[in-house]
């Protein structure tokens, strides 16, 4: 049998992915040709590349979109989607994107709040890592390797397969991808005991701008520092993390208690602010604020939901609560003992016996939403809280919520500069502001976004200042953006100082060293300190 030549394989490849003149004018087929030439196995490459003419293109694109705001016809679409099944298939994507002047957007779980992992205003390629999700748990040494395309739900599931007394301090939403979640910090109900996900990373693998696959030793401590909380997308393509698993008891205790305004919610929330950060580090109580209809007369009211994870049994929790937070009125019947993995399902809103749901990569209810974040360093007055309630009675707030997550404990003990995530001692709690809606119309979308901006403006006197701090995993382009390809240090620092405080400068230094030409970039990526780049762009 005659062996096919490189040219014949290339021709076949281009025929398979032939596209319109509109797309090819943007360098689309040049990229495909480059990919073919750079790859050893042309057939395997054709199986992982999707263009707009491919029948699977839309389903692949939409599969991991977690915010309907970015599913409209006006949302910019990628020229190509690449779904590698092996690490070696990533290097040609980087090389060919550079050669053809295309940006790369790397997607793990698709939860970027502003869609930056799958949308861009310039010609771009999505590098979708959902096939790279191998997880290897070493229960004896309490470590695990997790590929970047894995979700944290998959991680929790695999840990529980090996041990009922090991866990990991990552997020509450199981469909979040590990690649982005860990690189921005990542937190959940264990943060007061063990800190962030990023605080518990002990090694990593990354593809740099030159296509080299690096681990902690070969990348060096500066880059290893930067990708644990500084956002990995500025520095390369995260392939995998090695994490330190943490001890959890065989039985934990959970409770959820709702309090409306008629049930003294304002006073209890006010009191929580003074004590939640001082609780025993085994105790985490967060608050979810929503508008609801009163059960008695169906009138609108505000409900504060106190949701807790306690790393111990109910017999130890009850006296602790009576001593620390009697105002909540916790009773034994409010509490449920369960395993840590069951508490993951509980916090995610699933039946605790439905463990297999953690393997699902898609959320059951994807909606339109906009989010913001804040840090509170002094308790908000009762009058201040009542002003929040007033805003929640407005029409656009029907599906809005605020989530208040307490700090203290281990979070107070870790230095602001230990990793790029700087929000440590001095913060009582973090706020996530959220507004959801169902309407597709642009005008409706703008009304809801205007509402959350009004809430954010109202909160200004009550939250951190100079800077008004924010959390990068709750991405918010309202706080500042880079120019497309021509961003100065000064412009990027507008948003960068809010996310990273004094760590922003070190992140810029690392970026300058590892990606001086600013290939890995987006609307809120770390810029290099390069006078030519900042003057001319590319």
Active site residues: 474
Across-strand partners of 146? 135, 241
The β-bridge relationship of strands 335-338 and 252-260 is: antiparallel
Burial class (CB in 10 A: 0-12, 13-18, 19+), 528: buried
Dist. CA 221–CA 342, nearest whole Å: 36
Dist. CA 424–CA 415, nearest whole Å: 7
The β-bridge relationship of strands 368-376 and 429-437 is: antiparallel
Residue (of 203, 286, 270, 268) closest to 239 by Cα position:
203
Dist. CA 394–CA 466, nearest whole Å: 30
Handedness of CA 213, 219, 223, 225 (dihedral sign): positive
Say if CB 151 and CB 174 are below 8 A apart.
yes
- C-alpha dihedral (149, 153, 155, 157), degrees to nearest 10: -140
Is 353 in a helix, a strand, or coil? coil
- C-alpha dihedral (351, 354, 356, 362), degrees to nearest 10: -30
Dist. CA 193–CA 48, nearest whole Å: 41
Handedness of CA 407, 421, 106, 143 (dihedral sign): negative
For the residues of 296-339, what is the DSSP string, one character each?
TT--EEEEEEEEEEESS-HHHHHHHHHHH-GGG---GGGEEEE-
The β-bridge relationship of strands 368-376 and 300-310 is: unpaired
Handedness of CA 238, 240, 244, 250 (dihedral sign): positive
Question: Which strand (E) or helix (H) includes residue 292?
Answer: strand 283-293
Question: Which strand (E) or helix (H) includes residue 389?
Answer: helix 382-392
């Amino acid at each position: 049998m005659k062996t096919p030549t490189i040219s014949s394989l290339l021709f076949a490849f281009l025929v398979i992915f032939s596209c319109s003149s509109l797309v090819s004018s943007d360098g689309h087929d040049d990229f495909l040709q480059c990919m073919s030439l750079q790859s050893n196995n042309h057939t395997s490459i054709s199986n992982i590349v999707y263009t707009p003419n491919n029948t699977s293109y839309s389903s692949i694109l939409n599969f991991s979109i977690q915010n309907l705001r970015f599913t409209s016809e006006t949302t910019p679409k990628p020229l190509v989607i690449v779904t590698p099944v092996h690490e070696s298939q990533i290097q040609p994507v980087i090389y060919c994107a550079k050669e053809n002047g295309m940006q790369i957007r790397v997607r793990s779980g698709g939860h970027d709040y502003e869609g930056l992992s799958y949308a861009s205003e310039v010609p771009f390629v999505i590098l979708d890592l959902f096939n790279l999700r191998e997880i290897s748990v070493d229960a004896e040494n309490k470590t695990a390797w997790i590929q970047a395309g894995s979700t944290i739900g998959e991680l929790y599931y695999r840990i529980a397969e090996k041990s009922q007394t090991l866990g990991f301090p990552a997020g509450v939403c199981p469909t979040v991808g590990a690649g982005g979640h860990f690189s921005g910090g990542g937190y959940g109900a264990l943060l007061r005991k063990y800190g962030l996900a990023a605080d518990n990373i002990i090694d990593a693998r990354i593809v740099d701008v030159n296509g080299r696959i690096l681990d902690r030793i070969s990348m060096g401590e500066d880059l290893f520092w930067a990708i644990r909380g500084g956002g990995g997308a500025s520095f390369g393509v995260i392939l995998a993390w090695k994490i330190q698993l943490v001890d959890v008891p065989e039985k934990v205790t959970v409770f959820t208690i709702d309090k409306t305004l008629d049930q003294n919610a304002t006073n209890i929330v006010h009191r929580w602010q003074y004590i939640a950060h001082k609780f025993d580090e085994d105790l985490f109580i967060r608050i979810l604020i929503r508008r609801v209809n009163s059960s008695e007369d169906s009138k609108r009211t505000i409900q504060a939901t106190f949701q807790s994870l306690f790393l111990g049994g109910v017999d130890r929790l009850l006296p602790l609560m009576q001593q620390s937070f009697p105002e909540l009125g916790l009773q034994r019947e409010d509490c449920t003992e369960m395993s840590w993995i069951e508490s993951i399902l509980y916090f995610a809103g699933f039946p605790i016996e439905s463990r297999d749901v953690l393997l699902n990569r898609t959320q059951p209810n994807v909606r339109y939403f906009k989010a913001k974040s804040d840090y509170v360093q002094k308790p908000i007055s009762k009058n201040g809280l009542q002003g929040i309630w007033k805003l929640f009675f407005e029409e656009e707030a029907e599906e809005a919520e605020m989530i208040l997550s307490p700090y203290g404990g281990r979070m107070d003990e870790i230095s602001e500069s230990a990793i790029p995530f700087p929000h440590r001692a001095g913060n009582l709690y973090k706020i996530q502001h959220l507004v959801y809606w169902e309407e597709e119309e642009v005008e409706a979308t703008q009304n809801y976004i205007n509402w959350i901006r009004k809430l954010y403006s109202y909160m200004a006197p009550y939250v951190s200042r100079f800077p008004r701090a924010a959390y990068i995993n709750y991405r918010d382009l309202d706080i500042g953006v880079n120019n497309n390809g021509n961003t100065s240090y000064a412009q990027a620092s507008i948003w960068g100082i809010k996310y990273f405080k004094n760590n922003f400068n070190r992140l810029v230094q690392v970026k300058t060293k590892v990606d001086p030409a600013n290939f890995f970039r987006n609307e809120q990526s770390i810029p290099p300190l390069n006078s030519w780049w900042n003057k001319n762009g590319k």
